[in-house]
Amino acid sequence: MEATRIRLAEGVHLTYLPARKFKTSLLSAQFVTPLRRETAGANALLAAVLRRGTVSCPDMGALSAKMDNLYDASIDYTVRKKGENQCVGFVASFIDDRYAPGGERLLEPAAALLGELVCDPVTYHGRFVPEYFESEKTNLLEAIRSLINDKRDWADSRLLRALCDGEAYAVPRLGDEETVDKLQALKVYTQYRDLISTAPLEIIYSGSADLERVKQALAAAFATLPREEVRVISTAAPHVCRESVQHVEDVLDVTQGKLGMGFSCGSDDVPALLMGNTLFGGSSNSKLFLNVREKLS
């Protein structure tokens, strides 16, 4: 069966992917918001803080117990970059109802817990719980700082920042250390309220449940989601080609150097560009790898 995309509410869309060959179902809820330097870090941080607890499950222990009761279901927060948008949300994985003992239904309680994480987080005096906020802020700063430990990822990030300087695509998905370090609990909570009110919400379900049942489960789970002046998903602005070649070099204590090359291509043929990038890029099948790494070395 083919995928179906329907509108559930103002700025809320469901992509329904019927599948009966898997033993687990997947439910994803992602807010799509413009990628900006001033908000990228706050969005990445609030996703982690939201995962720390809800009003009914105010800590990780209570959340883990609830997921254990759903036969070891899992819900993880996600922070992705797609084009010039940042996607922030959760992905839930749970046993497909066809394999649940006694015909138990797991879609509804899994969707309800997902809705709680988004709409009903645990708070303290009108802001996120201070201990949760500070802990996840420290984790996020460490994740940003540790990027340099993987020299391939570091080279890629430096390449994008140079190639797309001044464009939204240059902004890292987790934000930058300087911005994150200045974040305060109240500011991030304000950003959370703005995000869930104005950002489009894209939900994806893959499993054996029928469409009508999925719609009802999600309608109940996100019934309290505020919707105020929902923005449309922004399209990527055309990349501005540089007039001269840029060279960026970082001198680091490494045993093997990393070289990244970025080209501005005046073409809309995405499949051809992807194929060309595979042939000449950094994969183990690329011509550069086979000739320079395998033959010449």
Domain boundaries, the chain: 4-221, 265-297
pLDDT tens string 181-226: 999 999 999 999 999 999 999 999 999 999 999 999 999 999 999 9
Best CATH choice for the domain 4-221 from the list 1.10.3720.10, 3.30.930.10, 3.40.190.10, 3.30.830.10: 3.30.830.10
Tokens of 12: 């809320």
Cα–Cα distance, 269 to 273 (Å, whole number): 6
**CB-based contacts of 68: which residues, under 8 Å, 6+ apart?**
none
DSSP 149: G
Is residue 1 pLDDT above 70, yes or no? no
Residue 294 or 148, more confident: 148
Q: How many CA atoms lie within 13 A of 210 on its CB side?
A: 2
Q: Which amino acid is at 161?
A: R
Is residue 296 pLDDT above 80, yes or no? no
- Where do runs of H (alpha helix) occur along 175-210? 177-181, 185-198
pLDDT tens string 83-131: 899 999 999 999 999 999 888 999 999 999 999 999 999 999 989 999 9
**CB-based contacts of 168: which residues, under 8 Å, 6+ apart?**
34, 35, 36, 84, 237
Tokens of 8: 């559930």
Cα–Cα distance, 96 to 113 (Å, whole number): 16
Strand partners, 82: 85
Is residue 260 pLDDT above 80, yes or no? yes
User: Would you report the helix, strand and coil content of the chain in percent, each value rounded to 5?
Assistant: 45, 20, 35
Cα–Cα distance, 210 to 174 (Å, whole number): 36
Q: Which amino acid is at 33?
A: T
